[in-house]
Amino acid sequence: MSASRSLLTAARSTVLTVATTVAVVGHASAQDTTAKFPNRQIRAIVGFSAGSGADLATRIVGEKLSELWKQPFVTENRTGAGGALAAQGVAKAAPDGHTLLAISAAHIIVPALTTSPPYNLRDFVSVATTVQIPNVLVVNPSLGVRSVKELVAMAKAKPGELMFSSVGTGSGTHFAGELFKNLAAIDVRHIPYRGAPEALTDVLAGRVHFTFSPLSSVLPLLRNGEIVALAVAPKTRATALPNVPTVAEAGIEGYSWDTWFGMLAPADTPRTVVDVLNREIVRVIQLPEVRKQWETLGGEAMPLTPEEFDKYLAGQSQLVTKLVKAAGIQAQ
């Protein structure tokens, strides 16, 4: 064998050895990262106040994860700018899975409402969804309608006269109403309020004609006959209201709007860590004792893989962007 050929063979052997070593070390590092995760306190940053839906959903899951991992799981409220301050902080955190962002639909709504978004959806990786709380389309009994078709017929007979309430411009309940308005092709007016109690109170008083309200807020009123449920907003019926159709079933084809909560991690968080988080969160949200807690909120476990969560967020983002343009919604 010539000297040049010997050198070439030796070089190839060296490259192969180095490549094999790198692969083995990389695999070992990934395994090591997963094996040691979590190795200290985990923080979930919530962009809304204590007692909010996002806050409660996160605390319920965090309590169980603390028990399973024997590591503190701390829920930290960092309010401001519709959740944007929390998102900006987590986007800059170390991508090691120990800092998470607890989100709701507001996470995709905020960037859609401005030409200069405070954060980019690509700043994060999807971890897991936790719970879905159905919104319910409700009216005052005195309105005299008992179905979605009757409500739509009334709105078309009185263009611009019917009003729907929400918990604020750009809120999830606002978008639920705008989607209904868009797909039903009706002319109704949006009346924003500062919170769910106020939005619901004026429906009960007959000052506003309808609203989309979280199931947990209206269940007692439905049982007492103080309010009428025409339909639920998600694709599937609510377990607590099995006889109430979805909006789509009631005749508004293609309608679906969810109130949901989930968790994200900073971009570049190792997939091995994301997989551990997803597996354990999905396990926790389906525990019998946790399911009972969801029921008190009118919610149901929402187990999605990171890939399914990615797809879901993309679809919701497209829908919100479309509604913002169609309704001319602007940030307040």
pLDDT tens, N- to C-terminus, the chain (332 residues): 444 444 444 444 444 444 444 444 444 444 444 558 999 999 999 999 998 889 999 999 999 999 999 999 999 999 998 899 999 999 999 999 999 999 999 999 999 998 899 999 999 999 999 999 999 999 999 999 999 999 999 999 999 999 999 999 999 999 999 999 999 999 999 999 988 889 999 999 999 999 999 898 898 999 999 999 999 999 999 988 999 999 999 999 999 998 999 999 999 999 999 999 999 999 999 999 999 999 888 899 999 999 999 999 999 999 999 999 999 998 76
The yes or no reply on domain 37-131+259-327 and CATH 1.10.340.70 is no
Q: In the chain, which residues fall in CATH 3.40.190.10?
A: 135-232
Stated pTM of the model? 0.84
CATH topology of domain 135-232: D-Maltodextrin-Binding Protein; domain 2 (3.40.190)
The contacts of residue 139 (CB under 8 Å, 6+ apart) are: 145, 151, 203, 209, 210, 227, 228, 230
Q: How far apart are CA 191 and CA 211, in angstroms?
A: 10
Q: Which amino acid is at 199?
A: A
Cite the residue boundaries of each domain of the chain with CATH code 3.40.190.150: 37-131+259-327
The verdict on whether omega for the bond into residue 159 sits within 30 degrees of 0, i.e. cis, is: no
Single-letter code of the amino acid located at 210: F
CA nearest 127: which of 51, 37, 67, 215? 37
